[in-house]
Amino acid sequence: MKKLLLSTAAIAAMGMFAGYAQADSSASATANASATVVEPITIEEDAALYFGSFAIDGAGTVSTADGFSANLIPVPGDEEPAAASFLVTGEAGEEYTVALTGPFTVTDGTDTMTYVPAAPADAQAVDDGGFNVNAVLTVLGTEGPGEYVGTYNVAVVYE
């Protein structure tokens, strides 16, 4: 009788563990997905970068933020050097960064001068409407008279 009770207890215990062994070994759930489409970001030049008109009496620099160095003589009555300005439109409430590399050049077809632009370092808010780009033009002192022109690329990227 004692053996029968032990055998019955052993079978019952195996049945308990067998129940655990037969539990589900996988599960599934439903997950969500979404997408948001925002207004495309655009940039447009509002005012050109301008280094002014000047005579050369040696090497120097022109800064759109600080003016002319000592060896460059501005033409009286001409406009002061000025930063470029850009208009930016896009998704309200979003921020963007400005990508601008350099140096760049301006040329009259014979001589060349180099300038280094400075883009805003921090992220800008689309709601602010735009930004300015200052630059420093390096004059070697050997350039001849003429109109010096050039282009540069500015990009804006959502943060």
Residue 27 within a domain: no
* Local structure of residue 135 (DSSP, 8 states): E
Residue 16 within a domain: no
Q: Name which of 55, 77, 52 is nearest 66 in CA terms.
A: 52
| Interacting residues of 19 by C-beta distance below 8 A, sequence separation 6+ | none
Give CA separation, 104 vs 27, 94, 117, 132, 156, in Å: 61, 30, 8, 17, 18
The predicted structure's pLDDT at residue 154? 94
* Number of separate domains in the chain: 1
Residue 53 within a domain: yes
Residue 97 within a domain: yes
Tokens of 56: 């050369």
Residue 117 within a domain: yes
Distance CA 159, CA 143 (A): 41
The predicted structure's pLDDT at residue 89? 96
Residue 48 within a domain: yes
Residue 126 within a domain: yes
What's the domain range around 125? Answer: 42-158
**What integer is the mean pLDDT of 133-146?**
97
Residue 125 within a domain: yes
Q: What is the pLDDT of residues 59-101, one digit of tens each?
A: 999 999 999 999 999 999 999 999 999 999 999 999 999 999 8
Give pTM, 2 decimals.
0.78
